[in-house]
Structure 1
Amino acid sequence: MPFNISFRWSAEPGVDLESPGLRSIRAGIESNTVAEFLSLDYVYPGFPDPTATLESIAGYNAFREHPLTEGVGTAYLHVIPYALPHRDGRNHYFVCKDMTGTSRKVNNSYPYPDPTKYNETQEMFQTSVPSNPLPRIPQRREDEPAMIPDMSLQVAEIPGRKPRPTSNVFAASTSLIDWMDNTRAAPDECGAWFDSRWGGHTMPIPQRAVTEPPRVEPFFPGWAG
């Protein structure tokens, strides 16, 4: 089954997308997106089993039963740090996600995103990771490697990078991704970023025919291994 949605990440100044904690967050959100189109069989190595732990990072749309659907296009994500009034030994981030540049292929067409469905338009997650993450013991069986979809349309912006990791990049206790009530508009934390992408508060209408797939932009930063 093809999955050609590339992930393009950006962040506020001073945020390191390659830090262990943010690699875990990126891997968790990307894995959930893959699983929403395909299934949990295709998530990244080390993704925790949602039936085996209370600290699962799997969102409802990832583990509910659904037909496998070919995805194509570009998902844009942006990380914003925020501080809580108390110290809990964790780093906290908002992650803003724009899915309007993607589509779920239906027969030979690529429908526009449904503006009533947050996972096809805009999402926001509250996330946190330990200040000093420790390696996670994989909770998927070592003899149960993840399936790899056809990702032939994806290319790297940074030479040598891969569209998905080939080894476990999840860190211990980084499963705190809050699958917020995204049926409402994104709060102020992500509002300015969406406005800058969309040119206003309203989701843009794709400038393509439904018979044309959305553009797959080079993924960034991708994965070293």
Structure 2
Amino acid sequence: MTEISLILFIAATFLLAGFVKGVIGLGLPTIAIGILGVVMAPAQAAALLAVPNLVTNGWQIATGPGLRAILIRLWPMLAGICAGTWIGADLLEQQKNGSATLWLGIALVAYALIGLKAAKLRVPRIAEGWLAPLIGLATGVATAATGVFVLPAVPYLQSLGLDKDELVQALGVSFIVSTLALSVGLLGAGALDARIAWHSALALVPALIGMVVGTRVRSLISPPTFKLCFFAGLLVLGLYLVLRAAPWSL
């Protein structure tokens, strides 16, 4: 692949990933790492995502209804995400056979099918105190292994009974903390340097364009339609990860 072809490939990837994130509040790292994995190592793809992740999630947080309340409620999970990501800091560099990504995809598919069947997962408020740090820790380790911030944080946040805008803001908070924690790990592993950071900044442009369009689409849809898009998006992301990481695709 020539340099120009690679640049166009990366731009198209971030445009698509930004659009999906704008519609359902997640999917940027999942799609980008999955597609970029065709032409680069997972750790390189995760490093390229650093700036787009930070900015798009910052925007997602800023446009939400109540950041202070979200932070107060989620800080135990966020602390767990940092701890889990740093504990598993070397996992992304070591992953060669894609097994972690495969299991992540399978879990996403299972959760999406449950959601599409209208099964309601609810976490009692009294259980959040002890469950949130465990969810965060598990999410951090999964992030370190795959570069994707989805499980089990997304099902947990969806089970808190937030409305669509609160959920999107809570996802943004979770993802920006995961991005910062993963970036620290990538810096320590030598996968993120000034050159990669500059390339990551350039990738921000198509990601933002896609997100603007996707956010506009989200503003036009009803809560039931958003819920359908949310779980359908998770299902597609999960199937994509399975197909990319399954043994028969190697």
With structure 2 as the length reference, what TM-score do the two structures score? 0.27
Greater fraction of residues in strand: 1
Greater fraction of residues in helix: 2
With structure 1 as the length reference, what TM-score do the two structures score? 0.29
**Structure of higher RCO (CA pairs closer than 8 Å, 6+ residues apart):** 2
